[in-house]
Structure formats: C-alpha cells, structure tokens
Structure 1
Amino acid sequence: MSPAPAGAPVSYKGWAGIRRAFATPSAGTLALLGFGSGLPFLLIASQTLSTRLRDVGMDLHSIGLISLASFFYLLKFLWAPLLDRHAFPLLGFMGRRRSWLLLSQVGVTVALFALAFSRPELGVAGLVGWVLFASFMGATQDSVVDAYRIEIASESAQAALAATYILGYRIGLIVGGAGALYLAQFSDWRWAYMAMSGLMLLPILATLVCREPAIPQATVERRIDFVGAFWQPISSFFTHNGPAVALALLLFVGFFKFPDQVIGVMAGPFYLDSGFTKADIATVSKLFGVWMGVVGAFAGGAAVAAFGFRRMLLVASLGVALSNLAFLLMAQHPGQLWTFYAALSADNLFQGFAGVVLVAFMSSLTDRNFTATQYGLLVSLANLPGKFVGGVSGYIVEASSYSTFFILSALTVIPTLLLLAWLWRRIVDPVAPPAAPPAD
C-alpha cells in the first residue's frame, strides 16, 4: 500500500494525536458537551436518584419501578430522524444541530431545578413527571451530541474527539454522582439538585459559542416519507448483514451489557443497606469508581487497537459478568470499606473496558448514510433489556437476597457467550488505514 500523499489530513492516532486533538477548539467543545450529557444521567436515570429515594425511606420495588420513568434514554432512536432532517423551528437561525442542543440543554436545566423542589416522601407523581421530561430532553441532547461529534471533524479525528467527549462525560458523572451526594450529605437534596441545574450553564455556553457543522452529503437517496425516515436505516442494516446475522448482532448488542445493567438500580440502595453513608458512596462509587472506569476505558482502547474488538468482546463479556460477583464481598462483609473499594475496582474497570469495546463494535456496524439513527438504535438496544429487568430488580432482591441477586446477574452472560460463539467467524475486525504523515 502506497504512503499517504502530501497534504493528506493530519493523523489523530496515538498519544501524539490525542494531545493534538485536545488542543483543537472542537475537542474543548466536545468535552463541555460531554459534561452536559453525563451530568444529569445519574440524577434522573440511575444511582443518585435511587439513593435519594432510598434515603427518604422508599421501598426497593417502588424505586425499581420509578427508574423506568427514564426510559426515553432507551428510545432516542425513534426521533433521531427528525433531529437529522430539521432544525428546531424557533431556534432555526442557530442551525440544525445547535438549535436542538440548546433546546434540550435548557430543558434538562429546568427539569433538574424542578426536581430540587420535589418531595418524593409526600408523593411521587410530580417527581415521575419531571423525570420523564428530563429523560426525554437528556436523551435528545445525547443524540444531537453524537451527531455533532461525527459531523464537526474528519473521520480521522473521530477517535480523538470521542476521547474528549468521554472525558467530559465521566467528569459529568463524577459531579452528578459524588458532587450531588456530598451536597446531600452536608446540606440536603434540594441544594444538591439546584447546584446541578446551575452547572448545566456550562454546556449551554458551549452551544452558544461553538460553530454549526456543515450538513453532510448523503451518498444514497433518502426517502422523505415516514418509511424513508424510520424504516430505511433498519432495512439497510438487514440488507448489508443478511437477516440471520443481523438479528444475531442485534441480540448480541442487547445482551452484552445486561449483567451490569441489571444491578444498576439496586446498587445505590445496596450501598446504603450495607451500612455506608452518602459520603462513603460519593467517595468510593462516584469518585474512585468513575476514575477506575476511565482507567478501564483507556485499557479497552489500547486492547482494541492491539488485538481488534472480536477477541476483546469475549474478554469484556466475561469481565462484566464476573465483576458482579465481587459485590458478594460487600454482602458478606457489610460496612467494611475495603470490600467497597475491591468491588468497585472490579466493576468499574470492566465497565470502562467493555464500554469502549462495545462502542468500537457498534461503530463498525453502522452505515454512515444513517449514522445517527443506526447508532442511536444500537445504543438504545444495548440498554433496553437490562433497563426493564432492572425495573423489577427490587422484587428479586426482596424475594431472595442481595447475594442471590448478584449470582443470578452474573449467570445472565450465558446468552451473550452463545451468540458470540455463533457470530465468531462472521465478525471481521476492520483493517485500519495507514496513518497520514504529520503536518509540517
């Protein structure tokens, strides 16, 4: 293969490329947009919300059911075609991507402020309503940020920009997790949610000052009717892979994160029931744990670069499932911090590792003519089964025990391994193009 011609785009591969990408305005923008996506997630769809509900005395099965109110994060692919085709009418002067970004960010800000004044101990109707609204706006924000990231830079820069986005997202998780729990511990939940609402001004500012990406040119003719908007991306996926392989791929993606997600809702209540304070949870789960996830993500990226994602899919599947068994240490030794650190080390390392592997795999499956819709569908599918089972996880714990629950969650990896065995010879790692020479 001949070397890249002079004047070719600068390569963003390797550590030098990552450093180069961090210095670009687009990378800074993606870090702030990632922060905006990560900040509300735990507050409305995961452990911070469930910890708040348990803290006011709510029973486990009610917490699990309330968690289903954040289901819009699983269904964002349904309105992705609308976001791809049109700007939000009242903000159309900002452009197609930035108009939806501003709308969704303001919506999340308003919802978090309203949740600050919700009183779940007096009734959950208002809280559930605002969680529904926040999850719709948060899911819309995520979809638009993904599309913005793809369109704002060349293909060679995508990995580096994804890294800056993930860094911002992880910092958002730390603030929405540890930051909110610290504020709740030393003040109250109202001030915690009000502070998180105020921090959404950072991604809003980034949206106001960033540039609108150019509209990508489609390489296939897109139908403009309902079928064209919603069915064409799906039919393209099945046509490209064949019906049997396409169905197996979708099932595999759906089951891949199942062992981890099935315990997500119960994690916060489990920590409290194990005798840890909100400050303990903030320190170990939301600070230490998130940074361990960053380490796992870098390890996953290096492993995919060195070995491809096929073998790493096997390693990640087993790691995510087996890491659930580390929580048995906490169940057997309640209140002992060393077990908390050990369990969260295993859990977050493999979560971070598996997350990067899955992103690489899903990205290889998407047709660039329908990137936003197909990628949104795959992301939603990756979260859907575990989310719904997580909604009834409280009943499982109350009917058995936390220890039994963790063992059962680890065994749910079996369908994933069976599907991977069938797909093994059908999964082909993409061949990386040669790196372009550095710019003078």
Structure 2
Amino acid sequence: MSDSVFDDAVARLTRIGEMTGCSSQVINALSHPNAMMHVNVEVRMDDGHIHYFPGYRCQHNHVLGPTKGGIRFHPDVDAAEVQALALWMTLKCAVVNLPFGGAKGGVSVDPKALSPMELERLSRAYVRAMADFIGPERDIPAPDVYTNALIMGWMMDEYEKITRVKNPAVITGKPIALGGSLGRDDATGRGAYLCIKELQKRDCLTPEETTVAVQGFGNGGYHVARLLAEDGYKVVAVSDSQGGIYRSEGLDIKSVYQQKQEHKELKAIYCDGSVCETREHDTLSNDELLTLDVDILIPAALDSVITTDNANGIKARYLVEIANGPVTSDADAILKDKGIIVIPDILANAGGVTVSYFEWVQNRTGYRWDKDKVRDELHTVMSNAFNQANELVQNKGLDFRDAVYAVALTRLSEGIEAHGTPDYFNGG
C-alpha cells in the first residue's frame, strides 16, 4: 500500500474541514500523527530459523483520551496504511463520542503461512516490542484483519507477564473467559445494521422490497447480512476474496455462512438442520458485485475499491461502508452527483470500537454487563451519532459523509482549541 492512502485520507479531511469551517490549526493537527513506532518483530520459526517481520503502531491523536485501535496481520500492512487507519479511528471515536483518540497497528505477514505456534510467537513478540508504547491509559489495541480473540488473549497475557500486573483493560476483543465483552463478536456488523434501521425510519424503507449486496463476507459483512436478512431485507449477493454469488430471490445467509465455514467456498445453499441443498444462483466477481442494481451496497472488505474508474457504474441508492476507506476521496464527488447516500465508515463501522469501549469500561470497573445491556447501549450510541449527523443533513444541506465528518471535527476542534488558539497567543 502506498503513501497515497494516507494522503487521500488527509485530502478528504482537509476538503471537508475547510468546507465546514474547521480551523486550519485543527486540520493541521489532525494531518500529523502524534507518534509512530516501526519495529522488526523477531520470531523463531518452527524450523529453527529467526525471521523478522515489519511491525507498526501509530498513535494518531490523543486530545480526547487514550488512543484506541486494532492490530492487523496482513502482507500489505505498511506505515502509510496504519497512519490512515489511525486517522480514521480518531474521527470514528469522536463521531460516536467515545473518550478515545485513534490508533492502529499491524504486522506485514501472511498469517495463513504460519503454524499455530508461529502465530502465537509472532503475537507475543509484537507485544514485547510495543510494551512501552501501549497501556490501558495510553493506547489500547484490539483485533482487526486476520487477528481475533485468541490472539488478543495471547497479547494480553504477554503484556501482563512483562508488567507483572493483571491488567485486562490493556487489550479489548479478548475471549469472554479472559475479560472480553458479550456482544463484541457481532458489534461491527450490528452497528452498520443499526445505521440502516435509522435510514429505514427516515426514508420509510420497506425491508421486503429492499435489496442488499455485501462485498466481503468476513465478520462485519456476515453479521450485517444476517441481521438484515432476519429483518426481511432481501440480501441478493455476497462475496469474499475469491468472488461472489448472486440470487435475485435472495440468499439464506446463515446457510451460506455455514457452507463457507465448512467448505471454504461460497454457494447459495439452504440448510434445514444438517440437510443442505444447493439453490440456483449466478457467480460474479467482486467488481461486478459493486455495480449490481440494488438498493443498498455494503463494501465490507478492502479499502479503495470504489474509485473514479468505477464510481459511475454504482447503481445503489445507499452505500454503507463497513470496510475502512472503501471509497477514494476523488470518487466522493461522483457518488454525490449521482445522488447516492453514503453512510461513511467512521460511523457505519463504529460499532466495533464502541463495544470495545464497553469492554474497557467493564475491565476497569470489574463489573460485567449482560448482552442485552451491551446491545441497548450500542443502539443508543449509534442512534445518537446517526441523528446528530442527519440533523446537519436536513438543516445545513450537507451530504451524509460531510455531516458525519462535521460532527467528529466539532468535538476534536473543541479539544484541540481548548489548549489555546492562534488568536489567543497573538493577544486576540
């Protein structure tokens, strides 16, 4: 991934900031990460050799609180990617009014090529390298692409060995038995689902008459598809890295997911108990899925999949971003001209960091919440954030992305300018 990803994120921030009247001081502060750590993670492989994997952690901005953000294991991880993701996390936490700044980390590695023991050694070695850079009141990691609760448990355990203190609040997204939160498993998809339910109320959508396509069938994509299908929405297409499937009558999402977990392939399957049968369906590429004639398109996989090259082909009425940065800043204007309503990533996928915050709160207070409380609190947070942005859409004529950024920038501006403005220091 090139520097253009971070540059693109800053370009969008600058455009929206200037358009909404954000001060140049604030835009400048948010364009420069607070700190960046680059390490070589030393791992002894199963054959006895030592291998060094590039590792990164970016703390973007801590004006609203300690930084928060995931750790991803992926071959394309680089400094520019984690800086862009950390910037978006700063905005995301501000949008949903969490007392966190943004951070992100990762290791440039193909985790599928590692044995389970090598994966554990990599996870622990990353924490040893970053132990002085993270902490429950400084920077709190969480799972991201190709990391999960098991890996977070290893990382927490390694941190506690180094500090010799039990401190579950240092990491979120952990196994339930190690201090994880109920409701964390589907939080990202549920947050996007709650945004769509707010759209349903606002625009009087009829679920049974509303078609949905989801690019990316990982955790976030699966859960939003499942929740929408359970509500009666017609999910007609899903895809993974190998391609997608389409069925105009709609897919049985739970059965499709079961097939993928058991056989590592996508098929339009319907299961009744242990008996499954294949339904007639079409196959399509990820690019073809993006241009389907559906009501709601949900990119839930990679960044920069909608660009100036294909934006004119998008036919959906709504675009709900679960992936981080799936639409480039240059493509925004095209989608706006087409009248497509975009619910941006910094709101649509904020359910994950919100429930991670709930986990951090539970760890620090020593009091566990039940699943109903987690979901009720998540509903409140997502609904409030959506409606604050929607008020700007209705009263100020902003599009939804600009409105969501404006909510975030207002909170960040208040924090940054509370330390003093150029006018103050010049006697104003």
* TM bracket (short chain): under 0.3
TM-score by length of 2: 0.26
Structure with the bigger percentage of strand = 2
TM-score (norm 1): 0.26
Q: Name the structure, 1 or 2, with higher relative contact order (CA <8 Å, separation 6+).
A: 1
More helix by share: 1
